[in-house]
Structure 1
Amino acid sequence: MEADKLGRRIRAYRKLKGYTQEGFSKKLGVSVSILGEIERGNRLPTDDLLERIIQSLKITKEDLVL
């Protein structure tokens, strides 16, 4: 999946669940700048981080790639 599409979907689900970028990055244990880069499509999350994002948002991997 393209980084920009994945980032946009992560951002959309984060906002839908009511997390701020700062609060969500703390929950994931990453800096706000890393989360911002992922959401802007400038960086792909590692497999481990992607799994933490999915679990934190209570979504499936398929939700992000549809």
Structure 2
Amino acid sequence: MNKNVSIHVLRDSFATHLLEAGTDLRYMGDLLGHKSSKTTEIYTYVSKTNLGNIKSPLDKILNS
């Protein structure tokens, strides 16, 4: 099966992978050439992977 892939899809995938790898949004914005942080923030809704990895600071205290 052939899929049409545009440069926009590749750019979005790149940004999503950066976010999931833990790259700070400010650095992502610079890499993507965004002038506004609001533009970079659109990628935060895409990444659901990191949501499950968030640890509460209280968990660290309670498990010590």
Q: Same fold (TM over 0.5)?
A: no
Q: Give the TM-score band, short-chain normalised.
A: 0.3 to 0.5
Report the TM-score when normalising by structure 2: 0.35
Structure with the bigger RCO (C-alpha within 8 Å, sep 6+) is 1
- Please tell me whether Structure 1 or Structure 2 has the larger radius of gyration of its CA atoms: 2
